[in-house]
Amino acid sequence: MAQVRVTPRFRRLCDQFTRILGGESEIDVGPVCFVSRARRLNATILGRRTTSPLVRYQLFSFESLDRSGRALCLGETALFQNQANRLISNLRREGIRVTALHNHWLNENPRLMYIHWESIDNPIAFARKTKRAIAFLG
């Protein structure tokens, strides 16, 4: 992987973003601050229990930080179908744009959906808004 040149300011911002959201972070080429957070989901695919990261990880990032401190901020999570409307409402209430709601798998039980969201925002403000919106998911 290419060497990532990161300013101390960006690294501090990424560390704070990670502390708010929880999970593990890395800084990728760009730079992009990327945070992944594991959830416990009791689900099966094709009748088999799954704990795959493809199913249970929440993903958050920010990049393209401008001089005013605003960045492209993104989020994604898996959730049960009956939780989708609540999360969409929570994100919208926080002023965050929901960009996708879809499934990834067939024959899973219970039905899992994936929600993606985006905002141009201060990464710390975005992290706090996101944390409030997803808090009910555990």
The residues spanned by each domain of the chain are: 8-137
Residues 6+ apart with CB under 8 A from 110: 43, 80, 81, 82
Residues 6+ apart with CB under 8 A from 95: 119, 129
Crossing angle of the two packed helices 123-134 and 84-93, in degrees rounded to 10: 150
pTM to 2 decimal places: 0.94
Q: Are the beta carbons of 17 and 60 closer than 8 angstroms? A: yes
Note the pLDDT tens digit of each residue in 58-114: 999 999 999 999 999 999 999 999 999 999 999 999 999 999 999 999 999 999 999
